[in-house]
Chain A
Amino acid sequence: MDAHELQVISRCQRGDQEALKEIFNQYHHRVYRIAYGVVRQREEALDIVQEVFIKLFRSIGQFKGKSQFYTYLYRMAMNTAIDHSRKMKKVPPSTSDEEEGLQLSDVAERRPDRILDQKELEEKVKWATDQLSPDQKAALIYREVEGLSYEEIAKAMGCSIGTVMSRLHYGRKKVQELLKGYLEGGR
């Protein structure tokens, strides 16, 4: 954490909304990506961003600077997103014979004859990731969306690197099984 960031955090802890705006400008994309990665829905993700920064403003006094600020914010964003995700209705996606066998490569190549509607594919991905435990889901989003290292994920989740590896391995395995038809072959 650099000196400027510490100063901004300190101002925010004293109730300075301009300082919160600086933090928002620096981190809102990352918070949005985490939120969208979990709920996979625009409006819901935007609500989460809003809620996270309001929560941050109220609770930033509890941040003691012992860890990196972004891990503190990531954890808050992930917990809020997972809470939203739990509340959202879990609807299993519809499956038709036509969709069977469609692959990611079809989507990537934009073949209109075989392309699976992007929205439906998104629903499938959401449904598959919703089958994971919150910890597996969090590890997967941190890694696949944010590209955090194992060490950074461990810090954000407050666990060991070994636990992160296990959550990632079993999380990937489960989603791969659920999305088998879309993952085989590749580009």
Chain B
Amino acid sequence: MKRECSSVSKLLDKYFDHEVTEGEKSLIDGHLPDCPACRRTLQSMENLRTLIKRPVEEAAEKEVFPWVWEKIERGIRETEKPALWDFLRSWLNVTPLLRRKIWIPALAAAAILILMIAPLLYVKISSHPALSVVEYVESETHNVMVYELENQKVTVIWLFNGLEEGASTS
């Protein structure tokens, strides 16, 4: 009898929650009339359920909800726009391709590529010598053009006349 009680008590929660099999139910139904301890356990579970559930049911019955909906509508209106990240995330969820998070390595690859190319572009642009000063003097016999290369501290004086051309630097 005691062994049976021990095995039945393990099933009491399931029995109380109507989750036992037919076989288990028969076993417990047969055991309960002779076992006051198991009956007390079940009664205690029933009382606990009543204590937890009844005030909730009573409160729900008394409540009027239309004004709650009005508050929800107001809440939606008043709340700020979704954060930028939420917006981006919802936008990125649009296509199945983006949903697979392929965009994460793609963005990383693009960033690396830009970092690699940017110095090359900079070098190419900055290697071109800048002509900062240009002076041009015309006379009857010769024309003179003066350039100054700012970076290299070099002045170019270009003397020319028609077909004849000459140049000197200083």
Contacts and interface: CB of A to CB of B under 8 A. Distances in A.
A50 B72 contact: yes
B162 interface: no
Interface stretch (B74-82, B104-112, B125-133, B147-155): B74-82
Interface in B36-81: 40, 43-53, 55-57, 59-60, 63, 65, 68-69, 71-73, 75-76, 79
A54 B72 contact: yes
Contact of B72 (A24, A183, A186): A24
Pick from B14, B51, B55 the residue with the most CB of A within 10 Å: B51
A184 B86 CA distance: 52
Given A54-B76, A179-B48, A186-B44, A144 B53 contact: yes
Range, interface on chain B: 35 or more
Nearest to B65: A28
Given A28-B65, A50-B75, A183-B44, A61 B90 contact: yes
Nearest to A58: B82
- Interface range for A: 35 or more
B7 interface: no
Q: Which 3 A-B pairs rank lowest in CB-CB distance, beginning with the nearest?
A: A186-B43, A183-B47, A144-B52
20 contacts: A17-B76, A20-B72, A21-B69, A24-B69, A24-B72, A29-B60, A32-B63, A42-B63, A49-B65, A49-B68, A61-B90, A122-B55, A129-B52, A144-B49, A165-B14, A168-B13, A175-B48, A183-B48, A186-B46, A186-B47
